[in-house]
Structure 1
């Protein structure tokens, strides 16, 4: 199997992002595939479990279209996919194995430049396997990181590339689907770590209460970062308004939905908070403010520039729940998300993010496996 060509997660992403058709043969178990797989606008994916190839079941070849030439074989960690790719190559297919499998894909991050001018640069960092989005704002040699995931080297490397020092780190809320990189990044940089204190409750994590800071100043040029309380997904959820142009909305407003309010066990109460956020707080912001969320649930939300974002006006027009001004109907609709499947292991992840529990890197990887499930409602964009 040593001669089987491999494709790295970065190379696979570049191929998908280029618009080329990509055919993926995923050889994990059916339930693993159904729960979580690689997706893209021009990606075709099928599932034929590995054991069918081991047992030399002739029917496996019927599942693979004859007109497909190039195949990316995917498994959990990269070993099984090499075995299957070798069999495919013997049959004449140009098959490659995803190096490191879904484990490596889950840890791949792609930074994309959202905007820049003489005052600032704003990057969106997309962790594609999780649909998690974080941000790096740079101005005059200083950097602010928003909603960092736990693989903090990506932020350190981006700051170094830009010649910037990370001074501020903000979690817009206490995350339930992934382990925050905020505390570790603060430890490694000496930066201030901000978190809404009402989300932490009895936690032991060290942080600066975000609600005490209406503004965070960056660089020699004052870049206004306005913290706007936007409760609903969590009681302390806070959005950041950058230069009155960009709303880093955390899990309050998505391109295609709103943050689900049920993860704290108080769906209706938090849905009421979310109503006030949408129709009172956010209602005052103009339509041309560009919304950049902390998550997305569908690859269709990635636009032609490779960014997950939309103007507030576009979201208001396309998202039915954002137009539901009847408080009772809004509350019932949003609270109904409590019936949806919750993020895997969310209680443990919340405990870790509060500083109440610690895990090894291997355990952290297992806890984070799978997609995010932080949205209450999604429109058809």
Structure 2
């Protein structure tokens, strides 16, 4: 099994028993309390949300700006929900969803099973899943099914169900995916009470935001680096940290553990490298994005480098084989979904796009330059993309003012 490596940050071990709405001007110290940041139509506290993101600290976004577009509610509230709840499907407008999207194939996780530290996946039509959800309380169902990682926006680029909150809108990852017309990292989740996602950190140690359209979620989080102390003797992370073993005040990491209940109409920000577990407390519909930008791209790059080192150690005995480094890149992509070439394509695309359009150029180019300069010191990375990296650096230097070079 490939090892898992996380970046370590310093955090306070102060413990609070309740999550409450903090004064948003308070010191941004990581503690067991997750702050709710309220942003209204006038963008009050917008800068506070950006400060939490830049400091890699979780928070819950509340207020009209979280679920509105141009002053109106997200269309998904009016289209996918109904005024009165039904047994099994809650506030979901099953008739509308079936009529519009019933024949689509959707990914579904089996929450009652474990395979390789995750829930095994299957596929159903959306109609089949909604039929299952309608009768979920029936005792004949022995497995809890969770519709998750559904690329709705990718499948329906012309359907505007929601809008990314402004504080989460600087998103290099999905910008690249949309520009290239490839699979993105924007998802729809739908599940009954009791559906859940096991303990994990997000792809490439990216950020994540998740907004509840209806229902409630219970989140359990550990600061980056804290998960290392949860591993067993073989280096494996726990599958489920909701049990009494981990929730007890006697547990050695209890003071680092965070829990919060996210309500409908709220969005939660999950920082880079923070391991978390999620439970639906009732029928829940949510939208989720994974993303990175100038703030966390160094963490993503470092995690990619560290994971490659781990891959290399795992197959070091095969170093004499032809194109050993190339095989390492194949394994890296199989493990993370990215390899050096994939990551550098994103960075170079964003760099050239910012230069050509002058869009956010002064803001975004500096961290891109730092990543590419780091690549120039990495022999493996240069083997993968030396021509592209050198070309991009030449463009960057040409357009940067002298005092920024």
Note whether the superposition's TM-score is higher than 0.5.
no
Indicate the structure with greater helix content: 2
State TM-score, norm by structure 1.
0.25
Of structures 1 and 2, the one scoring higher in RCO (CA 8 A, sep 6+) is: 2
